[in-house]
Structure 1
Amino acid sequence: MEYNLNDIVEMKKQHPCKKSNQWQIIRMGADIKIKCLGCGAIIMFSRRDFEKRLKKVIPHAD
Structure 2
Amino acid sequence: MPASEPLQVFIGDVVRLRKPHPCGSHEWTVVRLGADIGLRCHGCNRRVLLPRRELERRLKGFTSRGPDYLPIPHAAAETDTPTEITSS
Rg comparison, structure with higher value: 2
2:60 alignment partner, SS class: strand
Task: Please report the RMSD computed on the Cα atoms of aligned residues, expressed in angstroms.
Answer: 1.2
Deviation at 1:59? 2.8
Runs of at least 5 residues in structure 2 that lack an aligned partner in the other structure: 1-6, 66-88
| Residues 2-56 of structure 1: CA deviation (Å, up to 9, x unaligned) | 33111100000000001x1100000000110100001001110110111100100
- Count of paired positions: 59
2:19 alignment partner, SS class: coil
8 A Cα contact 1:3 1:57, kept in partner = no
Of the two structures, which has the highest relative contact order with CA contacts closer than 8 Å and spacing of 6 or more?
1
User: What residue number does 1:49 align with?
Assistant: 54
Runs of 4+ in 1 over 2 A off after TM superposition: none
1:26 alignment partner, SS class: strand
User: What residue number does 1:35 align with?
Assistant: 40
Q: 1 or 2, which has the higher strand percentage?
A: 1
User: For the residues of structure 2 that align with 1:3 and 1:12, how far apart are their CA atoms?
Assistant: 17
Runs of at least 5 residues in structure 1 that lack an aligned partner in the other structure: none
